Amino acid sequence: MDEPKLETIRKNLGVEDHIPFFGYLIYRGDSDEFLAKFDISSERVLKGWHKFPDQAKSFKKVLEANRVCQQLELDPGICEIMIGFDLGKQIVVGPLDNDIVSEN
C-alpha cells in the first residue's frame, strides 16, 4: 500500500483538522488487541499486546506499520493496520480500507 494522504482520510471520515492524528496502529483481530510493544534483534522478537488503543504503539507511516506487521509473521487476515485520532479522553480507531484512503 502506498502512503495514504492524511487529508484525504480526514475528509472521508469526517475528522476535523484540529483533531490530532494519533498514528497507525497494528490490530490483531483474533484476540481483539493492539500491538503495544515491539522490539526485534538477531536473537529474538519481543512483542506485547494491549486491549486499548491508547496503549498501542503508534506509527507515523503506514509503510512502517506494514513492515512491522510482516515481521510479526501473523496471518494477513489477523494483522490489520488501523488509523487512530486523539479525541483527548479517548483514541478513536478505524480500519484503513480503500473507502477511507480513496481520493474519489
5-62 residue pLDDT tens: 999 999 999 999 999 999 999 999 999 999 999 998 878 888 999 999 999 999 999 9
**pLDDT-based confidence at residue 1 (cuts at 50, 70, 90):** low
Quick check: 98 pLDDT over 90?
no
What secondary structure letter does DSSP report for 70? H
CB–CB of 62/96 below 8 Å?
yes
Calpha distance 59→65 (Å, rounded): 6
**Cα–Cα distance measured from residue 7 to residue 20, given in angstroms and rounded to the nearest whole number:** 12
CA distance 96 to 24: 9
Tell me which amino acid residue 72 is. L
- From its phi and psi, is residue 76 left (phi > 0), alpha (psi between -120 and 50) or beta? alpha
pTM greater than 0.85:
yes
Burial class of 35 by CB neighbour count within 10 A (0 to 12, 13 to 18, 19+): buried
